[in-house]
Amino acid sequence: MAVPENLREATQTVEPVSVQARINRLARIVVAFREDFRWWFGIVLLVFVLAAIFAPQISPYPPLLYHPAIAEQGPSLAHPFGTDSLGRDQLSRVIYGTRISLTVGLATILLGGLCGTILGIIAAYIKGWVDMIITMAMDALLSFPSIVLALAIVASLGPSVINLVIALAVVRVPIYARLARGQTLQAAEQDYVTAARVNGSGSAKIMLRHIFPNIFSPLLVQATLSIAFAILDESILSFLGLGQQPPTPEWGAMINEAQPYLASDPWMMVGPALAIIIVLISLNLLGDAVRDKLDPRATTYVAAPLQEQP
């Protein structure tokens, strides 16, 4: 069947526009990387993510493979980060430890951010006694240092990765709740929310389809910056023996295992410590870049709730 002339012309005109749009998008990405070096740290984080996904393929040795004859050796071509007290390859253990640290950090932010955002939106939209109860509960949680509260929760639940995620998520709920509440109070006064009420939309629909999409940017900025604190807290609690249990490799637990050997084999601590430092620096710098990109005028009010307690 012959294609109509007008349809053929439309197809010919749409295709170059689509290609040009892709070229313009790629050009904007290149310019962003060239003008702001912080975006390059996203590549660093991508390397860690790929290492966590493809750990069995890229690790030179199994992480639990014992070689007592080569225990406590320094860096070499065969073992770039040396070996631990049982002769296990430290590089392989650092690569596998990436899985737990990144998974716990991401799961913590998703769980805590989702619960906190829901509570904050409900409190600001419904107001009244609901707002008062939720605000008081969040203030009570914020009155404790985050690491102390997480330590108490995971100690009472028992040492495990799941309990660690729950504890770290709980201490981050009030951060997202306060941020979502403040943003919702502003969004609820906008004309599009008023128009939705006039059209008969229910409260749940307004909160989900009209308010949440318009407060998502500051929540995303908060998440990119908070995940670094979550990974740091996870490493601290694992160092204390409340996270992933041996022999499964995890950065904080590996530092704890290397502590007695600082005098005889200081290299044992270098691998996990270096991984933590690189990930934390990359997340903080990338989070700053995301914040400036999404809302460069809101540095003050977006950064205010970000001060997590040590």
pLDDT in tens, 291-304: 877 765 544 433 34
Whether residues 45 and 31 fall in one domain: no
Do 7 and 44 belong to one domain? no
Burial of 91 (0-12, 13-18, 19+ CB in 10 A): buried
Sole residue written with tokens 């540095």: 299
Residue 167 CA to residue 170 CA, distance in Å, equals 5
The whole domain housing 142 covers 36-306
- pLDDT on residue 98: 93
The pLDDT confidence band at residue 4, using thresholds 50, 70 and 90, is: low
Question: Pick the residue with more confidence: 253 or 3?
Answer: 253
What mean pLDDT value characterizes the chain?
83
The stretch 70-79 carries a mean pLDDT of 87
Q: How many domains does the chain have?
A: 2
pTM of the model: 0.80
In the predicted model, what is the mean pLDDT of residues 182-191? 86
Element (H, E) at 153: helix 146-157
| Paired residues of 77 in beta bridges | none
Please state the rounded mean pLDDT for residues 41-59: 91
What's the chain's Rg over C-alpha atoms?
24
> What confidence category does residue 109 fall into, taking pLDDT thresholds of 50, 70 and 90?
very high
User: What does the pLDDT read at residue 309?
Assistant: 52
Task: Read off the CATH number of the domain in which 79 is found.
Answer: 1.10.3720.10
Q: Which residues pair with 83 in a beta bridge?
A: 89
Looking at the structure, tell me whether residues 123 and 19 fall in a common domain: no
In this structure, the answer to whether residues 17 and 154 fall within a common structural domain is: no
Find the helix packing angle between 216-239 and 161-187, rounded to 10°: 160
In this predicted structure, what is the pLDDT of residue 18? 66
Residues 99 and 11 in one domain: no
Cα–Cα distance for residue pair 138/120, rounded to 1 Å: 10
Q: What is the mean pLDDT of residues 120-135?
A: 91
The pLDDT assigned to 78 comes to 87
Higher pLDDT, 100 or 4: 100
pLDDT score at 90:
92
Q: If you average pLDDT over residues 183-192, what whole number do you get?
A: 85
| Same-domain pairing of 28 and 93 | no
What is the maximal distance between C-alpha atoms in the chain?
A: 82
Whether 46 and 192 share a structural domain:
yes
Q: Which residues contact 218 (CB under 8 A, 6 or more apart)?
A: 179, 183, 294, 295, 298, 302
Query: How large a percentage of the chain has pLDDT more than 70?
Result: 87
Q: pLDDT at position 106, please?
A: 92
